[in-house]
Amino acid sequence: MKRHPSLVPLSREHQRGLFLAQALKRGIPRFKDLPTTVDGKREYALSVYKALLQHHFHVEEIILFPAIRGRNIEIDTLINELLQEHQQMHTLFQTLHNTSDLETLLHELGLLLESHIRKEERQLFERVQVVIDKEQLHALGLKLES
């Protein structure tokens, strides 16, 4: 389903998140100028986290999720899972500073970030566009822009 305009800014950020996820996973072929060493990957992960993901998770938690919660059991279940995954990712990003197995941690973080974003795009956003009416989606879009 084509993405509703109100959700496009979040979807654009998801593209950047998927790019990071790809860079973090183990055994991925060299791509563009993405880092290939574990130290380079850690630095890249932390810079995207600080510049984008921390804020992205926060916006979803304080604007998106409250606006769509309480109308549909499947959406509510997804939101609960997504909130837990945000917490897991916050913890993993913090652990990057202090781990004895950086390679495994980066790989796990890449997998979780990828599956989280896919869940939002393929399950949450698809359902939201069916369940939430156009006016409410428009209002949500304005809140997300501000």
d(CA 127, CA 7) in angstroms, rounded, equals 12
Query: For Fe ion, which is the closer residue by CB, 45 or 120?
Result: 120
Query: For Fe ion, which is the closer residue by CB, 41 or 56?
Result: 56
Total interface residues for Fe ion by CB under 5 A: 2
Query: For Fe ion, which is the closer residue by CB, 96 or 120?
Result: 120
60 is an interface residue for Fe ion by CB under 5 A = yes
* Interaction residues for Fe ion, span 115-134 (CB under 5 A): 120
45 is an interface residue for Fe ion by CB under 5 A = no
Output the smallest distance, CB 41 to Fe ion, in A: 21
- Footprint on this chain of Fe ion (rule: CB under 5 A): 60, 120
